Amino acid sequence: MKSLRGLVAVFAFATAASGQELTWQDLVRRPELRPTQCSMRQGLEFQSGMKVVAGQKVNILELEAGEIVLSTPDGRIVFAAQPDDTDVLAVANAEYAKLTPAQRELTHASLLQRPELWPWKLTVLETFDLGAGRRINKGDSVYLMAAVNGELVVTPSQFDMHFELPPEDTDILAQARQYVDSKDGAPGRLVQELDGKLIDAATGQPAPFQAGAVPRYYVVYHAARWCPYTQKFTPSLLELYEQMKPQHPEFEVIYVPAEKSAAELQQYAKEVGFPWPAVAFHKKRESAVLGWTLGRSSLPELGVYDRYGNMVIDPSQVDRDTALQQLAALWKQPSAGEK
């Protein structure tokens, strides 16, 4: 009974700790728990004659051990204040109370190790100068490609470049909190990226996945009719697909065309009798997740991703025949690469 009482005591302590209110030190130590805005409790007047008044909303820029750096919403005044001059702690605790234990534990650093929680599209929270007259403005959307050395690799909506952003300068954490308590995680970056881009290659008509039938694994086949190696390899992939697909619907082949025109894609699809969907010819450049890895080896490329965009079989690391052998083995044991 003594050990049971000890377990009860530990559980009670853990429950109480999880329900504790945040302190100022918590906000300094864990930036992800800080609110973006608070209100002034005290009015302040500056030497310039400008002032902020009690009750005024202000933006939170930085928190340090004994002060908070703030700005007015229009950005005209940037100033430091004492924590007690604001209601920042009350606002933070009100938001903290709405979070589940798993949401409270999630940090930017831990999120970088959990791609199953990553969204495809992010909102930028700061304005960045990219050089050469380019800039990303606060509120713009970017697409998440990868995480490298503690930063997010993203691409703008034009899909014409990529650059790195600190995760805290995006809304990735706010979005991930929506999925952290779900056993399935986020919808999947690759699923979101392919939404609205898949067609019947022979007809050009939209061919979306049916509700409830979204694959877990995507066999990405990057190829072209004009390529003699494609002409030789496609029958082998088609034969394996026809053998394995009926027993393994959790896999799907996605054809990414490298043809020179949409007409050539349709011609090849009709010649071969494609049973799989293709990325629409005019939308293949709008694929950040796939674009991150495609084109690193010669055609045809055969790679396998999970729905979160994780590479299961990397076409840059193995030749196409080896990739096909690995696919056959994976297809027979579909849980092998599952998160």
pLDDT in tens, 23-40: 999 999 999 999 999 999
Question: What does the DSSP 8-state code read for residue 218?
Answer: E
Selection from 182, 69, 166 nearest residue 112 by Cα = 166
Q: Which domains does the chain have, with CATH numbers?
A: 2-96 (2.30.30.40), 102-176 (2.30.30.40), 189-332 (3.40.30.10)
Selection from 156, 265, 189 nearest residue 221 by Cα = 265
Q: What is the DSSP string of 199-211?
A: E-TTT--B-PPPT
Yes or no: say if 103 and 180 are a contact pair by the CB < 8 Å rule: yes
The count of C-alpha atoms lying within 13 angstroms of the C-alpha of 81, restricted to the half-sphere facing its C-beta, is 29
Question: What does the DSSP 8-state code read for residue 20?
Answer: P
Q: Which residues of the chain have pLDDT under 70?
A: 1-19, 211, 334-339
Selection from 157, 175, 156, 170 nearest residue 114 by Cα = 175
Report the distance separating Cα 24 and Cα 83, nearest Å: 8
Yes or no: say if 218 and 255 are a contact pair by the CB < 8 Å rule: no
pLDDT in tens, 269-322: 999 998 999 999 888 888 878 877 777 778 999 999 999 888 899 998 999 999
Q: What is the pTM of this model?
A: 0.77
231, containing H or E segment: helix 228-244
The pLDDT assigned to 288 comes to 79
How far, in Å, are 64, 68, 81, 139 from residue 25 at the CA level?
9, 12, 16, 29
Cα first-last separation, the chain:
40
313 φ, ψ (degrees, to nearest 5): -125, 120
Report the distance separating Cα 71 and Cα 306, nearest Å: 43
